[in-house]
Amino acid sequence: MNKSIERKLAALTKKAKEHGRKAEAKAPVSSSLHKVIKTKEQADLFMKLLKEA
Amino acid sequence: MAVAFNIDFNNLYEIDNISTDLRWSSFRSNLNNGQEIPLVVKISNESHALLPNVYNLAFGPLNPKGKIDDKAELNHADYSKVFSTILFSALAYLNNNPDHYLGIDGSDNARAYFYYRAIQRNFRYLDQHFRIFGIKYFVRITRFGKTQYDNPFDFEDIMPYPFKIEKGSRISQDQMYNYFIFNLKD
């Protein structure tokens, strides 16, 4: 990662931590992926495949 | 959305609002008609019980109810700057949460194909920062029906399968990925 991007990332993170608005209340995640995964076995297999891909 | 753009993290709109946890940010995009519109980038803030490190990323203007309208059709004056700013917000989040994955739903085939073309066009740049996967959902065949009226598909038994997207990999619009996931490159 070049220095210019690193500086921009550091500046944005600083802005968020020091002057950012309060984080929103938690809301359930809703996506097609989260809807199709219904069991722990499915989720574990998916994460295994994702890490190995 | 048949528009080509180039991702460049040195060509960004000013992010004028951001939350302390970097999950919510907003910036203003100029439209072709001379108007300026606020766009919001939002990363879901509660993980799925079974996928604790995968979060959804959505972006777009807010509708009157304050929700992101991810189907809004806008004519941006500078698509490169818009998508660079969206992905820079994602990069900042992942930089602070390096074990997380972010996902984007292709709300329909045309939009998913648009994302895929954009990934391919910007692959060399994006590959410096992210690992990118396309996810397809496969449905189990229970058995072939005895008659043409029997339904052999079990739509309750779906397996999402990730494919790492590589430069030049080809996939037709009809077989497009359902979902895209990316995380920080080591």
**pLDDT tens digit sequence for A13-44:** 999 999 888 887 776 667 889 889 989 999 99
Question: Could you tell me if B74 and B37 are in contact, meaning their C-beta atoms sit under 8 angstroms apart?
Answer: yes
The Cα–Cα gap between B93 and A17 comes to 12
CA-based nearest distance B25→chain A, Å? 9
The whole-model pTM stands at 0.91
pLDDT of residue B154: 86
Nearest to B73 by CA among B114, B42, B43, B44: B114
- Cβ contacts of A25 on chain B, cutoff 8 Å: 45
Q: Which residues of B18-47 are buried (b: 16+ CB within 10 A; e: fewer)?
A: bbebbbbbbbebeeeeeeeeebbbbbbbeb
Q: Which of A13, A24, A42 sits opposite B45 (nearest CB)?
A: A24
pLDDT of residue B20: 95
Question: Could you tell me if B1 and B74 are in contact, meaning their C-beta atoms sit under 8 angstroms apart?
Answer: no
Q: Which residue of A has its CA nearest to B10?
A: A5
| Look-up of token digits 């008609």 | B33
Q: Which tokens in the block code for residue B73?
A: 């059709």
Residues 6+ apart with CB under 8 A from B112: B106, B176, B177, B178, B180
Q: What is the pLDDT along chain B (186 residues), one digit of tens a residue?
A: 568 899 999 999 999 999 999 999 999 999 999 999 999 999 998 777 788 899 999 999 999 988 888 888 889 999 999 999 999 999 999 999 999 999 998 778 888 888 999 999 999 999 999 999 999 999 988 877 677 677 888 888 899 999 999 998 888 888 899 999 999 997
Size of interface A-B (CB pairs under 8 A): 126
Distances (CA, A) of A40 to A27, B24, B56, B68, B182: 21, 29, 19, 30, 21
Q: Which tokens in the block code for residue B2?
A: 């048949």
The Cα–Cα gap between B111 and B98 comes to 27
ipTM reported for the complex, 2 dp: 0.90
Q: Which of A9, A13, A28 sits opposite B46 (nearest CB)?
A: A28
Cβ-based burial of A21 (10 A; exposed 0-12, middle 13-18, buried ≥19): middle
